[in-house]
Homo-oligomer: A and B are copies of this chain.
Amino acid sequence: MRIVALLFERFTALDIIGPYEVLSRLPDAVIRFAGKETKEYRDPHGLVLRSEHSIQNIQNADVLVVPGGPGIDDILDDKEILDWLRSIHGHSHWTVSVCSGSLLLAAAGILNGRQCTTHWRRMEQLKKYPVNVRQERYVHDGKIITAAGVSAGIDMALYLVSKLADNTTARMIQLGLEYDPHPPFDCGSPAKAEAELLNMYAQLRSK
């Protein structure tokens, strides 16, 4: 199972590592990180992940994983990356994204006419593409699965494992990760957060 995750500057670490931790536990998984160049990429807080492959050297993937992050806006018109995504998607068994990664798939035209989702704060941006945006934890349409913000990649990846393998394998991995979430607060979506928190969030982000 050849899994390729795209790296770019200012990716969100958990967007990648959530699905990575799930998918790497598939017995036959080989996961490669690929960036436009073979180099070190940093998240907004300094975490380093190295792409040991450049996208030019990867022609095929069974599963294409596109994470999000603040840096996604800088590559939405990067012809080389968009061409590569279209090429890999043309032969992939599954193409998945986490968080704002779906914007890049949309920019490549891969989501045209598709049901899809993204981070709640990116909804309006995604709606500018010819896609059908839905507010769900993850959205499965054909061979594409798009996940909501950051942590949703874990839920999406477990669902993907149930399709790549079977429910038992997905449930074994969930048990191994002790993924029985108990957040100390219940405000993880805009539907659950009060208006004041949403306002504070918007003000902080606009600084």
Q: Are B181 and A151 in contact (CB under 8 A)?
A: yes
Across the interface, A189 reaches (CB within 8 A) one of B31, B47, B180, namely: B180
Given contacts A20-B13, A150-B176, A177-B188, contact A168 B183 (CB under 8 A): no
Contacts of A14 in B (CB 8 A): 17-18, 20-21, 177
A119 at the interface (CB under 8 A from B): yes
Contacts of A152 in B (CB 8 A): 178
Q: Are B201 and A185 in contact (CB under 8 A)?
A: no
Q: State the Cβ distance, A131 to closest chain B Cβ, in Å.
A: 19
Interface size class of A (residues with CB under 8 A): 35 or more
A41 at the interface (CB under 8 A from B): no
Cα separation A20 to B167 with both chains bound (whole Å) = 30
**Mask for A170-194, Cβ within 8 A of B = 1, else 0?**
1110111111111111011110110
Across the interface, A21 reaches (CB within 8 A) one of B150, B179, B183, namely: B150
Q: Are B180 and A168 in contact (CB under 8 A)?
A: no
Q: Nearest B residue to A26 by beta-carbon distance?
A: B45
Q: Nearest B residue to A159 by beta-carbon distance?
A: B184
Q: Are A174 and B178 in contact (CB under 8 A)?
A: no
Q: Nearest B residue to A18 by beta-carbon distance?
A: B14
Contacts of A190 in B (CB 8 A): 175
A155 at the interface (CB under 8 A from B): yes
Q: State the Cβ distance, A68 to closest chain B Cβ, in Å.
A: 11
Cα separation A150 to B162 with both chains bound (whole Å) = 20
Contacts of A175 in B (CB 8 A): 187-190, 193, 197-198, 201
A-B contact pairs, 11 of them (CB 8 A): A13-B21, A13-B24, A14-B21, A29-B45, A31-B45, A149-B177, A158-B183, A171-B187, A172-B197, A172-B204, A179-B183
